[in-house]
Amino acid sequence: MSSQVMPTYARLPVVFERGEGPWLWSTDGTRYFDAISGIAVCNLGHAHPAVAAAICDQAGKLVHTSNLYGIALQEQLAAELCRLGGMDNAFFCNSGAEANEAALKLARRHGHGRGIAHPKVVVMENSFHGRTLFTLSATGNTKVQESFEPLVDSFIRVPYGNAEAVAAIDDASVVAVLVEPIQGEGGVRVPPAEFLPALRQLCDQRGWLLMLDEVQTGMARTGAWFGFQHAGIQPDVMTLAKALGNGVPIGACLARGAAADVLTAGRHGSTFGGNPLACRAALSVIETLQRQNLIARAAFLGQRLLNGFRSALADHPQVLDIRGRGLLIGIELDRPCAELTQRALAAGYLINVTAERTIRLLPPLILTDEEVQHLIEGVARLVNDFTAA
């Protein structure tokens, strides 16, 4: 059947019509276990009653006015996020790419304020920050950059997890470091425990901004509100999106200290960013995470999954590593395994493969113990069948 939708995705042959918790039902009535939560978006699962009620109530009151006027729910959401993350203010937009775009613009303007004509940002190999031209240029993946050159020439790239490589940079034009606390698209790469503290120290010594891309790791995914909290540090800039609205598009760029004074009236904006509907959904997400103690639950379930997979796949010669933090899990095989997404679909599971050979699992935080076991058994069976073929 022909489609008028641009073919920017190699979509799997299924269409969903409803969901509940970690489950999705296709148009033919088949049930699937969503182990990627819409790519780390639906942390509360699908059709969460509290979020659904908040959206319906707000839609009946006010959806949009514009940022030419005050938005009370936006003020409330900014205050909550700053309280949870130790930040000073927030800019709202509609996606992770836009949030990272705001952070990069902030860094560039910060550099100009210091008299640097061509400000540069240190970024990491195998990173992913978005598909706008600026964020695509920051991304460390030549495959997604191909055919969009020339890219923005503002970045110095170093190996992820290597603080010594950052320390070795000798360039007076550097103004910031942009890094993911855990690389999701890069293959669920967890850096050494000393990496983020070392970056914080370097940024303090050299007057750089430490900017953390928490688009995938934020909002309790890793068993803390934000991934940086595991390292006991504080960023100057932090970006959020994905799970912030549990499916309602919303992104945020939060800043602290001197970075909080950079973006002033007329210097950045967003027509839809932080509208009443999106902010009401995000406030409902935060309230639900707190009320149901899902931050601690994510840490507990994540350890159960890691232990379960390590036991089920113990001594498996084709499994190189099983790693992660909270409910961000990677199972790395010794071979490309993209076809596993199709095999999983046929078996009733939605999974994802990143960096060619790492199965990425991002299940919702509301899983029951039985659903955790269902996921362990199902994915282990897929891996065993695939590697035996």
Q: CB of 237 within 8 A of CB of 214?
A: no
Catalytic position from the list 91, 128, 195, 228: 128
Residues 182-206 as b/e (b if ≥16 CB within 10 A, e otherwise) read bbbbbbbbbbeeebbebbbebbeee
- Burial of residue 279 (CB within 10 Å: 0-12, 13-18, 19+) is buried
Amino acid at 308: G
| CA dihedral (151, 154, 156, 159) positive or negative | negative
CA distance 306 to 240: 25
Both tokens assigned to 60: 């009946």
CB neighbour list of residue 157: distance below 8 Å, 6 or more residues apart:
122, 123, 124, 125, 140
Catalytic position from the list 213, 226, 236, 309: 213
242 assigned to active site: yes
Sheet with 349-350: strands ordered across: 16-20, 23-26, 31-34, 349-350
CA distance 92 to 209: 20
Q: CB of 175 within 8 A of CB of 114?
A: yes
170 assigned to active site: no
128 assigned to active site: yes
Residue whose entry in the numeric block shows the structure tokens 């912030």:
244
Measured torsion, CA atoms of residues 304, 307, 310, 311, in degrees rounded to the nearest 10: -100
Phi, psi dihedral angles at 16 (to 5 degrees): -100, 145
Both tokens assigned to 46: 């699908």
**Which residues participate in catalysis according to the annotation?**
128, 213, 242
